[in-house]
Structure 1
Amino acid sequence: MINKSLLSLTMLMLCLFSRNYAQEIYAGRYKAVFTTAPQKVPTAKTPDGPLAGNGDIGLTLGGSPDKLSLYLGKNDFWRAYPVYPGGGIALPGWLEVKISALQGANFYAEQIQDKAFIAGKFTKENLTVSMNAWVAATRNTVVAEFIANKACSMKLGLYATKGNTSINTDGQNGEVIWVTRSFENTPLLEWPSHIAMALKVVGARVEKDGTLNLKPNQRVSLTVTMYTNHDRKDWKERTIKEAQSTTAGSIATMKKAHEAWWKDFWGRSNVRINDPFIEKYYYASQYLFGATSRGDKFAPGIWGPFVTRDSSAWGGDYHLNYNYQAPYWAAYSSNYIDQTDNFDQPLLDYMEKGKQHAKDLLEIKGIYYPVGIGPKGLVTTRWPLTPEEMLKRYATRENTIDGGYKFLGQKINAVFSVGNMLMRFYSTYDAVYARKIYPYLLECANFWEDYLKFENGRYVIYMDHYGEVMPNLKNNGQWRDQLGDFNSTLSVGLVKMLFKGIIDVSTFLKVDAERVEKWQHIVNHMSDFTVGEVDGKLSLKGVEKSPSAWHSRIAGLARVSIHGLILPGGVCGPKTDSAFNQILLSDVSRWKERMKAPGEWANTLGNGIETCFPAAVRVGYDSDEILKQLKDRITLQSLPNLWITADGGGTETLAAVPLTINEMMMQSYEQVIRIFPNWNKDKDASFDQLRAYGAFLVSSSLEKGEISYVKLLSEAGRPCIIDNPWPGKKVQLMRNGQKAELLSGNTFAFDTKPGEYLEMGIEK
């Protein structure tokens, strides 16, 4: 007898081997190419230069060939001040490399994404200097390797950013040059931040003035080691000591570990759709997310670790009414679960303050969050601290609105993040994770149980606003006349999501059974989403009632409503309510009618590319048209480093292309797996190891109009429900390589075991 566990492991290893090979081909095919020096470095938003990162440290290349600037960002280096500008994520500093002989030289660089390298080549006449820069995936070190075909000199400078109340020091220990930057002892600073950066040159001697003379074909490595006090207590000593111990051998070891980490990253999942343009941005977005977020480090803010100046837009904070959540949305189905480990901690850390806000400002239980927070219980969105500054920025002296915090008329800032928590829970059924997030879910439930009103047989929501309501210069400081939204689609959807989810999690954990009846009553009796009639067709309304003429109109499905209904709400779709889904589908079809120019589909230039495109897939809009509009949108507004930009934020756009394609390949909302649910069956495509709800890793291939196979790995041994990939045909189920059940019908349901490998094909 063959041991079934061994067979399962063997089959899995074969599968992993084949997809690793495929992924190296596809991820390695695409890179960003730069033929001119970056124009938006430094910037308050997303830089346009070549980028590399390890999910904690970010490297942004700026400057010109004769004066290269390697900007060094770090996700945990914050000025923990409650107001921006001034508060928020801060710039540690930069490494400057001056090569005067390259003044006026040609600029050429590549962002090589499968290896996470920045390769540069700078040429003037017969002098060429090549650079290979990277952020070590497993160490707190940045490496920039230089080689020149002719002798030339370089002048090096390591700089810590000054100003904004920081304290700076510098020094030299033997061959190591170091600088520090600290925020401490400033009024209202919630906690101190310190960072040290240490430069060690390997392969050449550096003169006292920072000059380094390169010999022909001599390889020189510039290494910068970085630690903060959030990494370790001995942040400065460790930085200097680690830099001192850096050698050519240790760099080679770091590089080997770096390449192994990225090889594993690219082996988690892949898609192949025979569309080079979309594939390029698919893999670029996955790369940028991998460079931005690391599960065991601080969560990335709006710009990730690619900050190039202090006081970046919105303080680079955790904006809770979609910006913070959105970058992670593709990570769950892409099987990058460990990259999402950092998401929950800032939310958990703010819970005590959130309880106090609910008690003090609304006199109810649960948690109530402002629009922007940071790490370690930091609030970033206080109104300006003086009436004079308030008047200057918001045209009113009233800086005590809602106790001095920016809630902006919205009650959903805490519950919004429940969507991400449920995505991960349903994708893994991990009991440890469920116990971690359950207290947060419970406090959200406590809040909404208190806040909801039960009227005329339904639960209704007063004074939670579809959009941000606040004083500003445009409305001359007048804003209260816009308060009064009733049953916003955003609120109704997210609250329904919350109570459906907490029933599932509490049942899974076998806790609070006595509360399930109440929660189910809320789910069953939540207000319906409001619709109206436009040109004889039903269409979605953003709110049931509102004093705002803009929100009162029948505008159809749009970004904000999508958040409550589809993503992350997940309470609507073709399977949930086919009649209502037809209304949403009709609304999506009108997006094209409202366009004034290519790229403006769904009005996503400001915000929402990561929301509207996947939502269009989910409701069943034509996939070819979606891809056409996606290409136009990317072409209209993206950067040379392949970062798709939006006016309202940065990192959230990284989910747009991966999530759109993943949803076309495979869907699993409501625990039902669907293979190629919205894809032109005349186009060949395949995917490996996309993660489905129920903790299944799913692979499939479509060739010449036919699905060739469906493979699943059951991680948690959950029941599997899957729509028949071959409608009308009987399907043979294989378990660990052995024939098992013969399945028939429109939808199959069968039990699985943990670690079981399953394969499906047409009965022969």
Structure 2
Amino acid sequence: MKLTRHLFVFTIALISFHLHAQTISAEKIIKQYRNVFSTPPAKTPGTVAVDAPLLGNGFTAVAISGKPEQQNYYLARNDFWRLKSGFNESYPAVLGKIQISVPSLTDASYHIEQDLYDATTIADFHNTSSSVRIISKMMAMQDILTIEIINNGKDVITGNALLTLPEDDQFHVNPPLENKFTDTSVSGNDNGTQWIARGFTKDVTIKTFASAALKIVGDQSHIFTISPSQKAMIVCSFSGNNTLSNCIQLVKQNTKRINSEYLNQANTQHQNWWHHFWNESWINIEDSVIAHQYYASQYTMASCSRDAKFPPGIFGSWVTREIPAWNGDYHLNYNYTAPFYALYSSNHLQQALPYEAPLLDFMQRGKYYSQKIAQIPDGILYPVGIGPLGIETTRENDLMRKYMNGYISEKQVEDEGLFFGQKSNAAYCAVNFSMQFYKTYDIAFTKRVYPFVKAVAVFWQHYLKKENDRYIILNDAIHEGTIGTKNPILSLGLVPSILKTAIDMSSLLHVDESVRKDWQNKHDSIAPFPLQEKNGRTVFRYSEKGTAWWDGNTLGIQHIYPGGQIGLNSDSSLLQTARNTIDEMQRWLDMNGSNSFFPAAVRVGYNADTILQKLREYSLHTYPNGFQLNNPHGIENCSTVPNTINEMLCMSHQNTIRVFEVWPKTKDAAFEKIRCDGAFLVSSALKDQSVQYIKIMSEKGKDCVLKNPWPNKQVIVKSNKRKEMHVSGAIISFNTAAGEELMLLPG
């Protein structure tokens, strides 16, 4: 085969790159990191974030707790909720648990490791008489859990495996605000196949069911006896369905057909799925503590977010006690949005997909509130709490009127919705749509979410008030309950973001050209960020009128991130004010807002060594499963470390790709396929204080703008589709073609 000169040179460059990449593959990197548990979990089951080993496939979830002699597998499903619109009447429910009892393991040592790359949980328990290994997997491509028990001791061991409906340890009943609602619960045993099912059918808006069936492979009993060097395999199948009988029948059938051949195929598919996931993107940095937390966080999101209609709530899929705190719902004033931040730059779009569904499903009710409360007929206005399938978890009802009437008397409830005075919830939710749009320019995605984005833009288009030569925001609380605020800084960041996204989405779809001019005018004329003096320095004020400062949370910088209104291309005085504010706030280890504080610091070029030092402290402040220590919130912190590291290694904010811009140049690092604005997948490596190469794959053929990492040299641009180019300058730009791969090297 004859190659043209430029293709030959590009091929040689790619060979060199791939030889380099082979030495630092995703498997080699991620295999270094395991979640290690040396004592039994102390906070599982619980109504908040748990400290247990976590398993999941995005549909079904398992949290493992208990002493060696009785391991409890707490079971839940993303699609199993009690669904009724009303305050404290809707929540993700528990399904049941599996109890693996091995009496001879009493007083055994406890050690569990989770292999993140293979998504395999390995427990080793030893005492003077017994030695047992238990290998657990929640299969990625089949809705089954496998529990393999291996006898590594010298004596025969006997135990049992029981599948039970939720027992006392899984119910948290604290009337009147937290009640055990009536459910339908059934269980049975058919020739060794145990099964359970739960459903909510009475006094609900939507009926729901879930079921599970368990058996010991090759046995018709729940009791197992294992000789030395032998093993027993326990399997459990899961389902959610629209009728109770179908749900039970499906899991029983699925469980009964499981044999060795089925398990071998399921295991191969499981490994292939996880290996594909890890190779969608990866990073390699010298700090093993931060890197471990990076990959543990990604593992958690992959384990709980795949069901397209039922995304994870506050605690992910791991609901271990009924009723979870905050009803485990989708809290829209940041909690629901934050876990997804890192998925876009990490190129994990399958895990981001479920985010859309509840927001789109709630639009009808959002339009009702927009019309009723703000007299804006075509906009949407969202309350603080929603659930799946259009359910409103915080709607005023008799329970609220009787026991939480302060919400109503203090005007935190408007019409029937609990808003806490905040108008920004829908705009906050839109930031993830904006991230995915600019990082993919995916037409199908844009068509799905544009009705939501347009409706939010329309709301703000008409809600903004003209004051002299600027548009202002009135009666939009910066913090929950701070009624009467003028120009809250969060909304001053979110509103331009939603208007710009609506403009660019409508342009891509060739619709709504007639309103773009007004959107653009209001985007350009919105009031500036309010300022104040604090300890002799100019910092941001939380609102122009109302709250000036807050000692908790991070709302004072969320116009930077996720609002996206300040970055390294911004005015130098604005950047200095942003850095001053970061200095004054110091909210690195915040109960709510670390997930926005760290990436905001990166966006404004805060000291890279300080960011990494604080990120290391943050990463050490965790349970072994990666959840933040003594923080009741769950998966919202899964974005903190991956998002911060991705931004430090490869930032594409403000239409400029910057590699290692906010990264200590003395620390070697590499990354593969970080997804950037413009639908570019970017890879690079830093070694001996020098960027070695930049590889760019262009999905949509957008123009590429890049800060030159070799400012005193020409940049050689090799392509698989055209002749070699030479470019120079502090900022370089070039057009690309869809599917084009480019290799950039110093001249």
TM-score under structure 2 length normalisation: 0.93
Q: 1:153–1:306: structure 2 CA closer, same or farther, 3 Å change rule?
A: same
Q: 1:195–1:18: structure 2 CA closer, same or farther, 3 Å change rule?
A: farther
Q: Which residue number corresponds to residue 151 of structure 1? A: 156
Deviation of the 1:532 alpha carbon:
1.6
Q: Which residue number corresponds to residue 617 of structure 1? A: 602
Query: How large is the Cα RMSD of the aligned pairs?
Result: 2.5
**Conserved 8 A contact 2:721-2:740:** no
Cα distance in structure 2, aligned partners of 1:226 and 1:48? 24
Q: Which residue number corresponds to residue 390 of structure 1? A: 403
Cα distance in structure 2, aligned partners of 1:13 and 1:327? 37
CA deviation string 1:610-648 (max 9, x = no partner): 11111111111111111111222333x310222235736
Give the fraction of aligned pairs with identical amino acids, expressed as a percent.
Answer: 33
**Conserved 8 A contact 1:143-1:224:** yes
Deviation of the 1:153 alpha carbon:
1.3
**Conserved 8 A contact 1:556-1:584:** no
Deviation of the 1:379 alpha carbon:
0.7
Deviation of the 1:410 alpha carbon:
0.5
Q: 1:397–1:503: structure 2 CA closer, same or farther, 3 Å change rule?
A: closer
Match of 1:303 among 299, 312, 315: 315
Q: Which residue number corresponds to residue 573 of structure 1? A: 567
Cα distance in structure 1, aligned partners of 2:706 and 2:322? 50
Deviation of the 1:87 alpha carbon:
2.3
Summarize the alignment of residues 408-557 of structure 1 with structure 2, pairs less than 5 Å apart: 408-469=420-481, 482-546=482-546, 551-553=547-549
Q: Which residue number corresponds to residue 257 of structure 2? A: 245
Q: Which residue number corresponds to residue 622 of structure 2? A: 638
Match of 2:589 among 590, 604, 610: 604
**Conserved 8 A contact 1:544-1:552:** yes
Deviation of the 1:84 alpha carbon:
5.7
Matched, 1:92 2:95: yes
Cα distance in structure 2, aligned partners of 1:718 and 1:589? 37
Cα distance in structure 1, aligned partners of 2:666 and 2:349? 32
Match of 2:554 among 555, 559, 571: 559
Q: 1:190–1:589: structure 2 CA closer, same or farther, 3 Å change rule?
A: same
Deviation of the 1:211 alpha carbon:
2.2
Q: 1:646–1:717: structure 2 CA closer, same or farther, 3 Å change rule?
A: farther
Q: 1:686–1:90: structure 2 CA closer, same or farther, 3 Å change rule?
A: same
Matched, 1:321 2:324: no
**Conserved 8 A contact 1:142-1:225:** yes
CA deviation string 1:127-184 (max 9, x = no partner): 1111000100011111111011331211221112265311111123333211100001
Match of 2:285 among 270, 273, 276: 273
Cα distance in structure 1, aligned partners of 2:646 and 2:588? 22
Q: Which residue number corresponds to residue 114 of structure 1? A: 117
**Conserved 8 A contact 2:125-2:131:** yes
Summarize the alignment of residues 740-759 of structure 1 with structure 2, pairs less than 5 Å apart: 740-759=724-743
Cα distance in structure 2, aligned partners of 1:760 and 1:418? 34
Cα distance in structure 2, aligned partners of 1:300 and 1:373? 12
Summarize the alignment of residues 360-379 of structure 1 with structure 2, pairs less than 5 Å apart: 360-365=372-377, 366-379=379-392
Cα distance in structure 2, aligned partners of 1:141 and 1:231? 20
Q: Which residue number corresponds to residue 180 of structure 1? A: 197
Match of 1:211 among 220, 223, 227: 223
What amino acid sits opposite 2:78 in the alignment? N
Cα distance in structure 2, aligned partners of 1:661 and 1:87? 36
Q: Which residue number corresponds to residue 172 of structure 2? A: none
Cα distance in structure 2, aligned partners of 1:639 and 1:241? 38
Matched, 1:718 2:735: no
Matched, 1:164 2:178: no
Q: 1:350–1:249: structure 2 CA closer, same or farther, 3 Å change rule?
A: same
**Conserved 8 A contact 2:412-2:418:** no
What amino acid sits opposite 2:521 in the alignment? H
SS of 1:338's partner is: helix
CA deviation string 1:224-268 (max 9, x = no partner): 111101699933222111111011211111111101111111111
Cα distance in structure 1, aligned partners of 2:51 and 2:309? 25
Deviation of the 1:12 alpha carbon:
8.2
CA deviation string 1:697-741 (max 9, x = no partner): 101111111111110000111111111111132111111186522
**Conserved 8 A contact 2:90-2:387:** no
Q: Which runs of 5+ in 2 are unaligned?
A: 168-179
Cα distance in structure 1, aligned partners of 2:510 and 2:251? 47
Deviation of the 1:535 alpha carbon:
3.8
Q: 1:520–1:118: structure 2 CA closer, same or farther, 3 Å change rule?
A: same
**Conserved 8 A contact 2:195-2:248:** no
Deviation of the 1:40 alpha carbon:
0.8
Summarize the alignment of residues 609-688 of structure 1 with structure 2, pairs less than 5 Å apart: 609-635=594-620, 637-645=621-629, 647=631, 649-688=633-672
What amino acid sits opposite 1:200 in the alignment? K
Cα distance in structure 2, aligned partners of 1:340 and 1:6? 38
Q: Which residue number corresponds to residue 580 of structure 2? A: 586
Deviation of the 1:751 alpha carbon:
0.8
Q: Which residue number corresponds to residue 347 of structure 1? A: 359
SS of 1:628's partner is: helix
When structure 1 is superposed on structure 2, of 419-428 and 502-511 the one drifting more is: 502-511
When structure 1 is superposed on structure 2, of 171-180 and 620-629 the one drifting more is: 171-180
SS of 1:315's partner is: helix
SS of 1:64's partner is: coil
CA deviation string 1:205-234 (max 9, x = no partner): 343xx3222222222111111110169993
Matched, 1:71 2:74: yes
Q: 1:360–1:9: structure 2 CA closer, same or farther, 3 Å change rule?
A: farther
What amino acid sits opposite 1:450 in the alignment? H
CA deviation string 1:6-35 (max 9, x = no partner): 999999899789757611011110111111
Q: 1:697–1:233: structure 2 CA closer, same or farther, 3 Å change rule?
A: farther
SS of 1:24's partner is: helix
Cα distance in structure 1, aligned partners of 2:446 and 2:610? 39
**Conserved 8 A contact 2:342-2:643:** yes
SS of 2:296's partner is: helix
CA deviation string 1:308-361 (max 9, x = no partner): 111111111111111111111111111111211111111000000111111222
Deviation of the 1:607 alpha carbon:
1.0
Cα distance in structure 2, aligned partners of 1:509 and 1:395? 42
Cα distance in structure 1, aligned partners of 2:183 and 2:13? 56
Query: How many residues get paired?
Result: 729
SS of 1:602's partner is: coil
Q: Which residue number corresponds to residue 479 of structure 1? A: none
What amino acid sits opposite 2:373 in the alignment? L
Q: Which residue number corresponds to residue 302 of structure 2? A: 290
Cα distance in structure 2, aligned partners of 1:506 and 1:646? 44
Q: Which residue number corresponds to residue 59 of structure 2? A: 56
**Conserved 8 A contact 2:588-2:614:** no
Deviation of the 1:279 alpha carbon:
0.9
**Conserved 8 A contact 2:309-2:358:** no
Deviation of the 1:655 alpha carbon:
0.5
Cα distance in structure 1, aligned partners of 2:19 and 2:275? 12
**Conserved 8 A contact 2:48-2:632:** no
Matched, 1:103 2:116: no
What amino acid sits opposite 1:155 in the alignment? N
Cα distance in structure 2, aligned partners of 1:231 and 1:336? 33
What amino acid sits opposite 2:308 in the alignment? D
